[in-house]
Amino acid sequence: MNSKLNWISETRKIALVLLAAWGMGWVVGHAFIAFAIASVALLAYSTLQLTRMHKWLSEAKDAPPESVGLWGDVFDRMYNLQRQHSEARSELQSTVNYLRDSFASIRDGAVMLNAAGAIEWSNHAAENLLGLVYPNDRGQDILNLVRAPEFHQYFLDADFNAPLHLETNGEPQRFLRFEITCFGDGDRLMFVRDVTKINRLEQTRKDFVGNVSHELRTPLTVITGYLGTLLGAQDTLDQKLVKPLQQMQQQAQRMESLLKDLLWLSRLENMEGASKAELVDISGLLVELRSDYQTSYSGRDIELELESDHKLFGDHRELYSAISNLLLNALKYSPDDRPVVISWKQEGGEYLLSVADQGLGIDATHLPRLTERFYRVDDSRSSATGGTGLGLAIVKHVAAGHGAQLRIESVLGVGSKFILAFPA
Ligand code: ADP
């Protein structure tokens, strides 16, 4: 029955009762008293039903009290609403439990933090990695429990685009990787991963490359030394040997350049986290670089556009090597009659150092992999120019070590522009 009909029939019933009471009272000569008694009885009935409802609600019993008419309908509806509500609640609770169980079971430490940085929840792995005990530490400020200064800086800067790598002091010593994402109303979800093994492997790889390059240098120096001596006395040599010896010397020199670049790369990798305290005059560096290259590439037009005299905190040697790699590539991969333009300027919130050429250009498909070691657009291009395939890898590492980004803009057959963008 719908509520309107229910209301009409209930009003009709009350009216009938009151009318009947009035009628009976009139018969016995006390119409008003009978009417008043019937009204009080109706009021008492309603109060009784209200009391039953109150008792039912406060005792939170399952089934509602039996009743008829409008009151029965009210009881049934309230009962249905209550049931729907409790079903929705238990469904929600089981979703929350499921999510918590899945977070709790992951091997990474997971910590939920509110907008004020207080712990809302953390899993078992967070206890193992950070010593957070849930639920004891609930409500505690994360900065009071994770005390490493690097973490404080990272957390307070609130720039979570890149993860934080941290070396712990305790025993056993660990390398941790922190990743934070924001959600809801300023809440944060923090994941912590133990990267000790990966770090050690990476360090072993770096050491291996560095050591091999270093060890190979001495025998190579002996070989190039003897080749130099032999070719220095060409007249006394069997002429059939001259060409092979010259080729050997060429390849030995190539190997020397390779080892030099590999050693330099391995030094850059090891220095990447170190802070740069030297104030480098970029304009001065570019003038010096231009004059150095103008000597070896005398026929080439190397233009300088210096629109800023801003100095950077950095490493002069590293920056010189990165920019000279870019300049060398621009000279190698563009025709002799085209200029190469080096510029230094401020744009928006950045300082931009760019090296632009009007040369071969690079197809867009190669750009994402261009800074990988030994990646070449095509081998014939590089073998003709005698490159080591490590130049752009060096540039990338120098950029990372200086907090800069390497951007490459290139159009095949038109030219390329390599930009080092330093944050202001
Ligand atoms: P390489 O020693 O071979 O020059 P790099 O790491 O410096 O090694 O460069 C990687 C590859 O990127 C090069 O082999 C070349 O194909 C391409 N490249 C680099 N700079 C330029 C440029 N300015 N114009 C066209 N191609 C370039």
| CATH code for the domain of 170 | 3.30.450.20
At 359 the pLDDT is: 94
CA angle 82, 87, 90 (to 5 degrees): 125
Q: What residues are in contact with ligand 1 under a 6 Å CB criterion?
A: 325, 329-330, 333, 357, 359-360, 362, 370, 375-377, 381-382, 387-393, 416
Question: What count of other Cβ atoms lies within 10 Å of the Cβ of residue 357?
Answer: 25
Is residue 411 in a domain?
A: yes
Is residue 100 in a domain?
A: no
DSSP alpha helix (H) spans, 194-315: 196-232, 242-271, 282-296
What is the tally of structural domains in the chain?
4
With 0-12 CB in 10 A as exposed, 13-18 as middle and 19+ as buried, what is 230? middle
With 0-12 CB in 10 A as exposed, 13-18 as middle and 19+ as buried, what is 90? exposed
Is residue 312 in a domain?
A: yes
At 319 the pLDDT is: 96
Is residue 300 in a domain?
A: yes
Q: Are residues 165 and 227 in the same domain?
A: no
| Residue for token pair 């400020």 | 141
Q: Are residues 76 and 170 in the same domain?
A: no
Q: In this structure, which residue's CA is closest to atom 7 in ligand 1?
A: 391
Q: In this structure, which residue's CA is closest to atom 13 in ligand 1?
A: 376
Residue pair 412/361 in contact (Cβ under 8 Å)? The answer is yes
Residue pair 276/402 in contact (Cβ under 8 Å)? The answer is yes
Q: Are residues 382 and 414 in the same domain?
A: yes
At 398 the pLDDT is: 95
Is residue 98 in a domain?
A: no
At 382 the pLDDT is: 61
At 385 the pLDDT is: 65
| Mean residue pLDDT across the chain | 90
Q: Which atom of ligand 1 is nearest to the CA of 386?
A: 2
With 0-12 CB in 10 A as exposed, 13-18 as middle and 19+ as buried, what is 297? middle
| Residue for token pair 């963008």 | 421
Residue pair 394/268 in contact (Cβ under 8 Å)? The answer is yes
Q: What is the pTM of this model?
A: 0.68
Q: Which of 151, 171, 194 is the last residue of a domain?
A: 194
CATH number at residue 222: 1.10.287.130
Q: Which of 194, 210, 231 is the last residue of a domain?
A: 194
> How far are the Cα atoms of 220, 242, 254 from residue 231, in angstroms, in the given order?
16, 7, 17
Is residue 96 in a domain?
A: no
Is residue 314 in a domain?
A: yes
Q: Are residues 149 and 169 in the same domain?
A: yes
Pocket test for ligand 1, best of 329, 355, 374 (most atoms within 8 A of CB): 329
Distance 18 CA to ligand 1 centre (A): 102
Q: Are residues 36 and 133 in the same domain?
A: no
Q: Which atom of ligand 1 is nearest to the CA of 415?
A: 24
Query: Which residues in the chain come in under a pLDDT of 70?
Result: 1-5, 60-61, 380-385
Pocket test for ligand 1, best of 255, 300, 333 (most atoms within 8 A of CB): 333
Q: Which atom of ligand 1 is nearest to the CA of 361?
A: 25
Is residue 254 in a domain?
A: yes
Pocket test for ligand 1, best of 265, 302, 383, 392 (most atoms within 8 A of CB): 392
For CA atoms 382, 383, 389, 395, the dihedral sign is negative
Q: Are residues 183 and 221 in the same domain?
A: no
Q: Are residues 321 and 416 in the same domain?
A: yes
For residue 216, the number of C-alpha atoms closer than 13 Å in the C-beta half-sphere is 16
Distance 356 CA to ligand 1 centre (A): 13
Q: Are residues 23 and 84 in the same domain?
A: yes
Q: Are residues 282 and 334 in the same domain?
A: yes
Q: Which of 194, 219, 249 is the last residue of a domain?
A: 194
At 2 the pLDDT is: 60
The whole domain housing 376 covers: 278-423
At 383 the pLDDT is: 60
Distance 411 CA to ligand 1 centre (A): 14
CATH number at residue 348: 3.30.565.10
Q: Are residues 304 and 325 in the same domain?
A: yes
Q: Are residues 288 and 392 in the same domain?
A: yes
Q: Are residues 175 and 207 in the same domain?
A: no
